Chain A
Amino acid sequence: MTSIVVISAGLSVPSSTRILADALGAATVEHLSPSAEHLSPSVEHLSPSVELVETTATYDVVELRDLAHLITDNTLTGFPTGALADAVRRVVEADAIIAVSPVYTGSYSGLFKMFVDVLEDGTVEGKPVLIAATAGTARHSLVLEFAMRPLFAYLRADVVPTAVFAASEDFGTGSTVIGGSLSARIDRATRELADKVLRRGTTLPDDPFADPTPFEDLLRDI
């Protein structure tokens, strides 16, 4: 079973960030389903994957708003608790990540960065990642390229070339718009993500507790 984790950093309820997050998650799952070749490239499913009984992939959303207090606690104490510990574990074990943040003051939101900050080193190293953002206007669209992409480059994630930006107006724009519709961008980006997942296969991180580095090696490698 392929597991896609969607990190959604929207702060309002409901949020356009969450709408985009669900759309990206569902589209990725669809591309990963066994009959994906026969499906229409357009994205119809906006509901979670539990309804897609035939798929071998699922996505679930980590809604950072619900974890805001726990994330603050983690930055102070150094360890995640409760629902945050569960969310971190899901990210660690995910086969791919979809990261979606609203644009705040010219960048990803502070809450989004705080969540990324509490992830252990190496958590997303080599993992396929799709980056996406929402904002009130399209003038912020390069946030994905000058803020989000460098962040994941630093984390050594394997980020797909297409980043998905949705301004408010995109939610009311059809396929005839110059530059292509939001759903076309979602389709292209999620295909790229699904392709990376299929090439990489499912992976689980090393567990240094189950499989420690022998002391002889630690001593030799000083």
Chain B
Amino acid sequence: MQFGIFTVGDVTPDPTTGRTPTEHERIKATVEIAKKAEEVGLDVVAVGEHHNPPFIASAPTTTLAYIGAQTSRVILSTSTTLITTTDPVLIAENYAKLQHLTDGRVDLMMGRGNTGPVYPWFGKDIREGINLAIENYALLHRLWREDVVDWEGRFRTPLQGFTSTPRPLDGVPPFVWHGSIRSPEIAEQAAYYGDGFFANHIFWPVSHTRRMVDLYRRRFEHYGHGTADQAIVGLGGQAYMAKNSQDAVREFRPYFDNAPVYGHGPSLEDFMRETPLTVGSPQQVIERTLGFREYAGDYQRQLFLMDHAGLPLKTVLEQLDLLGEEVVPVLRREFAATKPAHVPDAPTHESLLAAREPSSVEPEAPSVEPEAPSVELEAPSVELVETTEARS
């Protein structure tokens, strides 16, 4: 099981001081937080993508490459990559480059984005959000798996004889998660490809997350990628901790009450009851997180949102100490103790490479199965890892 943090890169005033960090401070803080995550033993750092204030989350691969250069072990991921408004060719190039620079420590989480004007700013129509996510990913999926792509669709200029460079590291495309708060179409998409499904989890009630994950697992099995309980599930989480739970509530309440997204709405107590937000002792966070299994099944990745709503860097780093030292070691032990042997871990570059090895020595015999969701409408091959001719 992988544990990590995800951020949306918001620049939010600290409600207890009224001070807003500069963009420069927030960008540098993102790097410090990522380095701290590796230092305290977390497995994944995911950064968001936004193209408007108050976020510093544009150019995610620049941030991730910089973090990658200063870390050695942590997986660099996204939360999320805007598959709707970003050219899939650029996604293919940027993340393949990042793979090479970081020796494969890369995966991605696809998302649609929920800021209306971003679509027209990038020449797209928000009403086509689902269609953009489906068509753009279908192209991206091929660009990473086929050396030469001829392609034509609705949303992008056609490609004739196009080769996306660099080719994915070792011919292994980055593993992809599809993130969604509420769209069943995205769970269906993840299931179709045998990709991972990441339920945002933190902004909506548990009853909703259960339905999304159930749908994904059922359809993952339907498309022949394995049994439902072998599907690759990730969940968001949100926590603020202090040794003494009353201190945690007292410290976090002003940040909660003024937070983007849910601030000035429900009480902290109401929101904790309805969503996975846990404000309390490390033990409470452990117990709550272990409970996620009851409705999501045995899952592969748990990411926590720790750095939003104007929390100062010093506080975030202290929270990561608590997360890494007191919470995650217990979660690792407890989750491992109950996970059935047939439930896989989240794929990594190493595991994908190893799974492909037996057939990878036949460069002149590429798979004849359609690997991309081409117009033949075939499901991708059963294996999570598809053989590929993409060795350069």
User: Which residues of A are in contact with B by a Cβ distance under 8 Å?
Assistant: 72-73, 75-79, 81, 85, 208-209, 212-216, 218-222
B221 within 8 A of A: no
Q: How far is the CA of A213 from the CA of B187 in the complex (A)?
A: 11
Mask: chain B, 263-292; 1 = CB below 8 Å from A; 0 = not = 111100011001000000000000000000
**Which residues from chain A contact B134 at a C-beta distance below 8 Å?**
218-219, 222
Q: Are A76 and B185 in touch, CB under 8 angstroms?
A: no
**Which residues from chain B contact A76 at a C-beta distance below 8 Å?**
262-266
Interface centre among B153, B214, B215, by most chain A C-beta atoms within 10 angstroms, is: B215
B38 within 8 A of A: no
* Minimum CB–CB distance for B110 against chain A, Å: 14
* Minimum CB–CB distance for A82 against chain B, Å: 8
Q: Are B154 and A77 in touch, CB under 8 angstroms?
A: no
Query: Sorted from nearest, which 5 A-B pairs have the closest CB atoms?
Result: A76-B265, A215-B192, A216-B377, A73-B266, A208-B184
Segment 105-158 of B: residues with Cβ below 8 Å from A: 130-131, 134-135, 138, 153-154
Q: Are B270 and A81 in touch, CB under 8 angstroms?
A: yes
CB-CB nearest in chain A for B376: A216
Which one of B131, B184, B274 contacts A212 once the chains associate, using CB atoms below 8 Å? Answer: B184
Q: How far is the CA of A76 from the CA of B264 in the complex (A)?
A: 8
B307 within 8 A of A: no
**Which residues from chain B contact A216 at a C-beta distance below 8 Å?**
377
Which one of B185, B214, B266 contacts A77 once the chains associate, using CB atoms below 8 Å? Answer: B266
CB-CB nearest in chain B for A216: B377
Q: How far is the CA of A208 from the CA of B264 in the complex (A)?
A: 32
* Minimum CB–CB distance for B43 against chain A, Å: 30
* Minimum CB–CB distance for A216 against chain B, Å: 4
B164 within 8 A of A: no
Q: Are B270 and A218 in touch, CB under 8 angstroms?
A: no
* Minimum CB–CB distance for A210 against chain B, Å: 9
CB-CB nearest in chain B for A70: B266
CB-CB nearest in chain B for A81: B274
Which one of A78, A215, A220, A222 contacts B204 once the chains associate, using CB atoms below 8 Å? Answer: A78
**Which residues from chain B contact A81 at a C-beta distance below 8 Å?**
205, 266, 270, 274
**Which residues from chain B contact A218 at a C-beta distance below 8 Å?**
130, 134, 185, 188-189
Q: Are A212 and B219 in touch, CB under 8 angstroms?
A: yes
Segment 196-231 of B: residues with Cβ below 8 Å from A: 203-205, 208, 211-212, 214-215, 219, 223
B69 within 8 A of A: no
Q: Are A213 and B188 in touch, CB under 8 angstroms?
A: yes
Q: Are B208 and A222 in touch, CB under 8 angstroms?
A: no
Q: List 28 A-B contacts (CB under 8 A).
A: A73-B270, A76-B264, A76-B265, A76-B266, A77-B266, A79-B208, A79-B274, A81-B274, A208-B184, A209-B184, A212-B184, A212-B219, A213-B184, A213-B188, A214-B188, A215-B188, A215-B191, A215-B223, A215-B373, A218-B185, A218-B188, A219-B135, A219-B373, A219-B377, A220-B377, A221-B131, A222-B153, A222-B154
**Which residues from chain B contact A215 at a C-beta distance below 8 Å?**
188-189, 191-192, 219, 223, 373
**Which residues from chain A contact B130 at a C-beta distance below 8 Å?**
218
Mask: chain B, 349-392; 1 = CB below 8 Å from A; 0 = not = 00000000000000000000000010001000000000000000
Q: How far is the CA of A213 from the CA of B271 in the complex (A)?
A: 32
B337 within 8 A of A: no
**Which residues from chain B contact A79 at a C-beta distance below 8 Å?**
203-205, 208, 274
CB-CB nearest in chain A for B261: A77
Which one of B203, B223, B264 contacts A78 once the chains associate, using CB atoms below 8 Å? Answer: B203
Q: How far is the CA of A212 from the CA of B197 in the complex (A)?
A: 16
**Which residues from chain B contact A219 at a C-beta distance below 8 Å?**
134-135, 138, 373, 377
* Minimum CB–CB distance for A86 against chain B, Å: 12
Interface centre among A72, A73, A77, A208, by most chain B C-beta atoms within 10 angstroms, is: A77
* Minimum CB–CB distance for B359 against chain A, Å: 26
* Minimum CB–CB distance for B373 against chain A, Å: 6
Interface centre among B134, B154, B215, B266, by most chain A C-beta atoms within 10 angstroms, is: B266
**Which residues from chain A contact B261 at a C-beta distance below 8 Å?**
77
With known contacts A208-B184, A218-B189, A222-B134, A77–B203 Cβ distance under 8 A = yes
With known contacts A77-B262, A81-B205, A219-B377, A212–B215 Cβ distance under 8 A = yes
Q: How far is the CA of A216 from the CA of B123 in the complex (A)?
A: 26
**Which residues from chain A contact B214 at a C-beta distance below 8 Å?**
209
**Which residues from chain A contact B211 at a C-beta distance below 8 Å?**
209
Q: How far is the CA of A102 from the CA of B153 in the complex (A)?
A: 51
Q: How far is the CA of A213 from the CA of B131 in the complex (A)?
A: 13
With known contacts A73-B270, A219-B373, A220-B377, A212–B135 Cβ distance under 8 A = no
Q: How far is the CA of A209 from the CA of B191 in the complex (A)?
A: 13
Segment 13-43 of B: residues with Cβ below 8 Å from A: none
CB-CB nearest in chain B for A76: B265
**Which residues from chain B contact A72 at a C-beta distance below 8 Å?**
265
